[in-house]
Chains A and B, each alone.
Chain A
Amino acid sequence: ETGVTQSPTHLIKTRGQQVTLRCSSQSGHNTVSWYQQALGQGPQFIFQYYREEENGRGNFPPRFSGLQFPNYSSELNVNALELDDSALYLCASSRPQEYTEAFFGQGTRLTVV
């Protein structure tokens, strides 16, 4: 086990709704990254948080937003859900400044109907 936990594990939402996904990072890791993995694809980088600030963003629209809290846990918020947002959302924690391996949580499988 990586020590990275995500909730919920599964979620079904309707197009146009908003969703919040949560992640608790591994002890000692203060950097959290979020990825979206569509079926048959590799994970795509959404953004990263370090010390409660966004520290890099991938090619995702502004309706994807996030937060990091003082305990390094993080949230991913997606507004105005679209059918194509259906995917596995993965959170990964790592230590910054000495790029190390990223360890993933079990993911949240989001289905938008």
Chain B
Amino acid sequence: RKEVEQDPGPFNVPEGATVAFNCTYSNSASQSFFWYRQDCRKEPKLLMSVYSSGNEDGRFTAQLNRASQYISLLIRDSKLSDSATYLCAVNPGNTDKLIFGTGTRLQVFP
């Protein structure tokens, strides 16, 4: 089993739709969780950190479920500019490295 798993998609949604991505992790001792956005042939850019209490930034909401070992990202009112690959990243806690999923591709169409 991979340490961090994501559905690769693609998710094709119309503008204005709500879309949710999940990411599961295998190490129950994992400490920190993040969502990154990556545009084609660009570097990953931090979208959100994920806290136990959940956090929201505008149209984006991230949640952590430690019991079931997954994190989620909800995007409301999708925009064309949201089209990208969304990577989840987990810090397993024994070092400062991040373990990434393979990414979920989102395509928002008009």
Contacts and interface: CB of A to CB of B under 8 A. Distances in A.
A103 interface: yes
A44 B45 CA distance: 16
Interface residues of B, number: 23
Given A99-B32, A101-B46, A106-B42, A45 B102 contact: no
Contacts of A43: 44, 87, 98, 100
B69 interface: no
A-B residue pairs, 7 tightest by C-beta = A42-B100, A56-B95, A45-B97, A104-B43, A107-B43, A101-B46, A42-B102
Listed residue (B34, B41, B42, B96) with the most chain A CB atoms within 10 angstroms of its CB: B96
Interface of B: 4, 31-32, 34, 41-46, 49, 87, 89, 91, 95-103
Given A99-B96, A103-B46, A42 B31 contact: no
A61 to B, nearest CB: 17
A55 B96 CA distance: 8
Contacts of A3: none
Nearest to B98: A102
Contact of B103 (A35, A42, A90, A101): A42
A45 B98 contact: yes
A86 interface: no
Interface in A33-48: 33, 35, 40-45, 48
Contacts of B32: 99
Interface of A: 2, 31, 33, 35, 40-45, 48, 50, 55-56, 58, 88, 90, 92, 94, 96, 99, 101-107, 109
A33 B42 contact: no
A96 B95 CA distance: 10
Contacts of B91: 99
